[in-house]
Structure 1
Amino acid sequence: MAGYESATLDIDGYVPFSEERCRQYIEDGHWRNLTFHDVLDRAADDQPDRTAVIGPHRELSYGDLQTRSRQLAAALVENLGLEVGDMAVFQFPNCTEFVEAFFACSRAGVVPVMLLPRHRAAEATHVTNLTDAKAFFTAGDRYEMGFDHVGLVDDIAADCDSLEHRVAVCDETVPDGWHSFDDLFEPDGTDAADDIEVNPFDPGLMLLSGGTTGMPKGIPRTHNDYVFQWEYMASVSEVEDDWVSFPSVPIGHNASLNCIVGATFWAGGTLAVEPNLKPESLMALIERVGGNYTLPIPTQLIDILEHPKLDEYDLSSLEVVMSGGQKVRPKAVYDFVDNWDVGFENIFGMAEGPLICTRPDDDVDVQAHTVGRPIAPDADEVKIVDERREEEVQQGEAGELAVRGPGFFTGYFRNEEENSENFDEDGWFYTEDVLRLNDDGNFEVFGRMKDTIIRGGENIYAPGIEDEIIEHPSVMNVAVIGMPDERLGERPCAFIELEPDAEAVTVDSLSTFLDERGIAVFKHPERVEIVDEIPRTEVGKIAKVSLEERITQQLKSEGVLPEEY
Structure 2
Amino acid sequence: MQFDAVLLAPRRAQMRSQGWWRDTTINDALDQAAQQWPDRLALVGQRTGEGAAQSFNYAQLARMADRVAIGLWRLGVRPADVVACQLPNVWQFTVLYLACARIGAVFNPLMPIFRERELLFMLGHGEAKLIVVLKDFRNLDYEAMLKGIQPQLPQLQHVVAIGAAGADSFEALLTQPAWERDADAAQILGRHRILPDAITQLIYTSGTTGEPKGVMHSSNTLMANIHAYAERLALGGDDVVLMASPMAHQTGFMYGLMMPVMLGATAVLLDVWNAATAAQLIRRWRCSFTMASTPFLSDLSREVATSGAVPSLRTFLCAGAPIPGPLVEQAQAALGAQIISAWGMSENGAVTTTLPGDDAQRAVETDGLPLPGAEVKVLDDLGQERPRGEIGQLWVRANSNFGGYLKRPQLNATTDDGWFDTGDQARIDAQGYIRITGRSKDVIIRGGENIPVVEVEALLYKHPAVAQAAVVAYADERLGERACAVIVLKPGAAEPALADVTDFLRVQKLAPHYLPERLVVLPEMPATPSGKIQKFKLREQMKSALPKLDRVGRAR
Is contact 2:45–2:270 with CA below 8 Å preserved after alignment?
Answer: yes
Note the alpha carbon deviations across 1:452-511, whole angstroms, 9 max, x for none.
99999x9x9x99xxxxxxxxxxxxxxx9988344779xxxxxxxxxxxxxxxxxx99xx9
Letter of the aligned partner of 2:134 in structure 1?
A
Q: Give matches, 1:507-522, under 5 Å.
A: none
**What is the alpha-carbon distance in structure 1 between the residues aligned to residue 381 and residue 255 of structure 2?**
30
Per the alignment, do residues 181 and 70 of structure 1 end up closer, same or farther by CA in structure 2, a change over 3 Å counting?
Answer: closer
Amino acid of the structure 1 residue aligned with 2:16 = I
1:401 aligns with 2:394: yes
What secondary structure is seen at the aligned counterpart in 1 of 2:424? strand
CA distance, structure 2, for counterparts of residue 212 and residue 315 of structure 1: 33
Q: Which moved more, 1:224-233 or 1:174-183?
A: 174-183
2:111 aligned with 1:120, yes or no? no
- What is the CA distance between 1:81 and its match in structure 2? 1.3
Aligned to 1:304: 300
The residue type equivalent to 2:24 in the other structure is L
CA offsets per residue over residues 138-169 of structure 1, 9 Å max, x none? 1125xx43322212211221111100011111
Distance verdict in 2 for CA 1:41–1:178, change over 3 Å: closer
Q: Tell me, in whole angstroms, the C-alpha distance in 2 between the residues paired with 1:282 and 1:528.
A: 33
Query: Per-residue CA shift, 1:381-419, capped at 9, x if unaligned?
Result: 32111123x111112211111112321113211113422
Aligned residue number for residue 138 of structure 1: 133
TM-score normalized with structure 1 length: 0.76
User: SS where residue 236 of structure 2 aligns?
Assistant: coil
In the alignment, what sits opposite 2:15? 25
C-alpha change, 1:184 and 1:225, in structure 2 (3 Å) is farther
SS at match of 1:450: helix
Q: Which residue of 2 aligns with 1:44?
A: 34
2:221 & 2:414 partners in 1: Cα distance? 18
Structure 1: gaps of 5 or more residues: 1-9, 464-478, 489-506, 512-520, 536-546, 559-565
Give runs of aligned pairs for residues 196-211 of structure 1, distance below 5 A: 196-210=192-206
- 274-283 vs 91-100, greater mean Cα deviation: 274-283
Q: What displacement does 1:369 show?
A: 1.6
Determine the structure 1 residue equivalent to 2:45. Answer: 55
Q: CA deviation at 1:522?
A: 11
Partner-residue secondary structure (3-state), 2:140: coil
Partner Cα separation in structure 2 for residue 277 and residue 301 of structure 1: 11
Deviations 1:225-274 (A, max 9, x none): 10111111111121131221011211121111123333322221100112
Secondary structure of 2:278's partner?
helix
Structure 1 residue 210: Cα displacement: 4.7
Tell me if the contact between 2:316 and 2:338 (Cα under 8 Å) persists in the aligned partners: yes
**One-letter amino acid of the counterpart of residue 373, structure 1:** L
SS at match of 1:134: strand
User: What code does the residue aligned with 1:170 have?
Assistant: G
Asked whether 1:92 is paired with 2:82, we answer no
Q: For 2:536 and 2:379, locate their aligned partners in 1 and report how far apart those are by CA, in whole Å.
A: 31
Q: Does 1:262 align with 2:255?
A: no
The partner residue of 2:218 within 217, 222, 228 is 222
Whole-angstrom distance in 2 between the partners of 1:533 and 1:271? 46
1:337–1:343 Cα contact (<8 Å) kept:
yes
Match of 1:428 in 2: 419
Structure 1 residue 423, shift from structure 2 partner: 2.3
What amino acid sits opposite 1:282 in the alignment? A
Across the aligned residues of Structure 1 and Structure 2, the Cα RMSD in angstroms comes to 3.7
Structure 2 residue aligned with 1:64: 60
Match of 1:323 among 311, 318, 340: 318
Contact conserved, 1:166 with 1:179, CA < 8 A, in 2? no
Q: For 1:419-443, what per-residue CA distance to the aligned partner results, in whole angstroms no more than 9, with x for missing partners? A: 2xx2233332101101111112211
Per the TM alignment, residue 367 of structure 1 is displaced from its structure 2 partner at its CA by 2.1
How many Å apart are 1:67 and its aligned residue?
1.2
1:349 maps to 2:344: yes
Q: Structure 2 length normalisation: TM-score?
A: 0.78
**Structure 1 stretch 156-165 or stretch 169-178: which is displaced more?**
169-178
Partner of 2:441: 450
2:516 aligns to what?
none
- Which residue identity is paired with 1:554? G
Q: Which runs of structure 2 are paired with 1:217-256 in the superposition (5 Å)?
A: 217-256=213-252
Q: Aligned in 2, Cα 1:128/1:178: closer, same or farther, shift over 3 Å?
A: farther
Matched position secondary structure for 1:14: coil
Provide the secondary structure at the position in 2 that maps to 1:128. helix
Deviation at 1:195, TM superposition (A): 2.3
Q: 2:376 — aligned with what?
A: 382
Q: Report the equivalent of 2:100.
A: 105
CA contact (8 A) 1:90 1:138 kept: yes
Q: What does residue 129 of structure 1 align with?
A: 124
Q: What is the aligned counterpart of 1:410 among 398, 403, 408?
A: 403
Q: Which moved more, 1:525-534 or 1:223-232?
A: 525-534
**1:55 alignment partner, SS class:** strand
Question: CA contact under 8 A between 1:402 and 1:430: conserved in structure 2?
Answer: yes
CA gap 1:179/1:65 in 2 versus in 1, 3 angstroms: same
How far does residue 80 in structure 1 lie from its aligned partner after superposition? Answer: 1.1
Number of positions where the alignment pairs a residue of Structure 1 with one of Structure 2: 478
CA distance in 2, matches of 1:278, 1:363: 29
User: Identity across aligned pairs (percent)?
Assistant: 23
Could you tell me how far apart the structure 2 residues matched to 1:440 and 1:384 are? 14
Q: Cα–Cα, structure 1 residues 529 and 425, in superposed 2: closer, same or farther, change >3 Å?
A: closer
Change (3 A) 1:169 1:523: farther
Of 238-247 and 524-533, more deviation after overlay is shown by 524-533
Q: Which shifted more, 333-342 or 240-249?
A: 333-342
